[in-house]
Amino acid sequence: MYLCHAMKMKVTLVQMDIAWCDVASNRQRAEQQMLASAGSDLYVLPEMWNTGFALKPQEIAEAPDGETLRWMQQMARRLDAAVAGSMAVCEGDNYRNRLYFVTPDATFFYDKHHLFSYSGEDRQFLAGDKRVVAEWRGVRFLLSVCYDLRFPLWLRCHEDYDALICVASWPTARADAWRILLRARAIENQCYVLGVNRVGEDPACEYFGGSAFVNPYGEAKECPDGVASSLTADIDIPALRHFRQKFTSLAERDIV
C-alpha cells in the first residue's frame, strides 16, 4: 500500500541501548522495540546499531549482503515498512560506515561522507562521496550519519528531499550541539528531520539519546534522555508543500 498525497507517513524512531559488539543481542533489542510500535511506515535505528561505534571494523564488519542486512530485509517485509540504520561493512580491503534504507522490495544505501577524525574513524573507514535520497511511499529521505549533521552544505536541500534522516552515536558531552543542529537543519532546509541517537555506554563514551522528530518549523518531539525508548510521529507532506510554497526561503537559497 502506497502513501497518497492526502495522507501522512507514520515514522518511529528507535532509541536503543546498544550492547557492545553483541550483534545477536542488538537485533533482539531492535526487534522488540520495533514490534512494540507496529503500524509505522518507517523505523529508524541508530548509527552502528548492531555493534556500537567500534573503531576496529575488521572485528565487526559484515559483507554488504550479510546477516544483519538480511535481518533488516526480513523485518521490512514482516512490518510492511522501511527500516533504516547504519553498520560497518567490508568491501574488499575497505570498510564503510554504511546506512541502509531497506523497504520490502528494495535496498538503498549511503556511505558516511564526513568521517569523525576526532575519534580516528577516518583512519579505519573509507568515506563515501555520494548523497543518497531514498523515496518511500511518496516521501523523499536524504540519508546522513552522525558527524554529517555538522556540515550544512552537504545536507542542503535542493528541493530534492522532504525529510532528513540522521542516525548517530552522539555522546552526552556534546548533547547541546546535537539538539541545536537538528533544529537548524530542519529550519534552513524547510524539512522534517529524524535524528536517532543511542543511549548507554561503550568503552569510550556515554550516550544520552535525545532522539528527535523535528518539523520544518524547528519544533521537536524527543525521546526521554538516558533510556531505551521509541517515538512515533507523522510526516505531513501536503502541509510541508504548503509551507514551502507560502514561505519561500528554500526557493530563495544561495546557489554555491
**What is the distance between the alpha carbons of residues 256 and 245, in angstroms, rounded to a whole number?**
22
Q: What is the set of active-site residues? A: 47, 112, 146
**What is the distance between the alpha carbons of residues 101 and 95, in angstroms, rounded to a whole number?**
18
**What is the distance between the alpha carbons of residues 245 and 213, in angstroms, rounded to a whole number?**
22
User: 49 and 28 in contact (C-beta within 8 Å)?
Assistant: no
- In the three-class reduction of DSSP (H, G, I as helix; E, B as strand; rest coil), residue 144 is classed as strand
DSSP code for 45: -
Give strand pairing partners of 199.
17, 208
162-191: b (≥16 Cβ within 10 Å) or e: bbbbbbbbbbbeebeebbebbbebbbbbbb
Q: Is the dihedral of CA 190, 3, 11, 77 positive or negative?
A: negative
Question: The cell 522495540 sits on which residue?
Answer: 33
Cell of residue 249, nine digits: 526561503
Q: What are the DSSP E strand ranges found in 53-178?
A: 82-91, 94-102, 107-111, 133-136, 139-145, 163-167
